[in-house]
Structures are given as structure tokens and as C-alpha cells.
Amino acid sequence: MKKTTMKVTGMNCGHCVSKIESALNEQTGVTDVDVNLDAGTVTVAYDEAKLTQDEITGAINEAGYQTEGIK
């Protein structure tokens, strides 16, 4: 199990949070998603054998948000 936190730009409301959570929870291998609207971050726990950070970033981007600063 791996955990990554990244800055996400473009989030400004609860709908944004729900949209990102839904996009990530649809990905095979995601076990937990924590979207912090105030900090503008998303933390994802996932099985790295089933999912890559690029796929996580891609899901967020497809939902309409930009990512930066993967930790």
C-alpha cells in the first residue's frame, strides 16, 4: 500500500470535492481518498501493483482539475 499527496488547483466547493472523490474511487486499487478543500490537497492511498501515480493524476485531470507537487 502506498500513499501520495498532491496539490490540486481549481477546487472551490463541495461539488469539486465530490467530483474528485468519485473519479478516484472509480480507479482499481484506490483504498482511501482524502480531499482537503481548504489546503487544496488530495491524499490517495492505493495499491501500487494495481495503479500508478500517473493514473491517479490522469483521473484528477479528467475530472477537470490540475495537479502539482506529488509527494
Instruction: Identify the CATH number of the domain in which residue 30 sits.
Output: 3.30.70.100
Domain count, the chain: 1
Rounded to two decimals, the pTM is 0.90
Give the structural domain span for 6.
2-68
pLDDT tens-digit map of 7-62: 999 999 999 999 999 999 999 999 999 999 999 999 999 999 999 999 999 999 99
* Burial of residue 62 (number of CB atoms within 10 Å: 0-12, 13-18, 19+): exposed
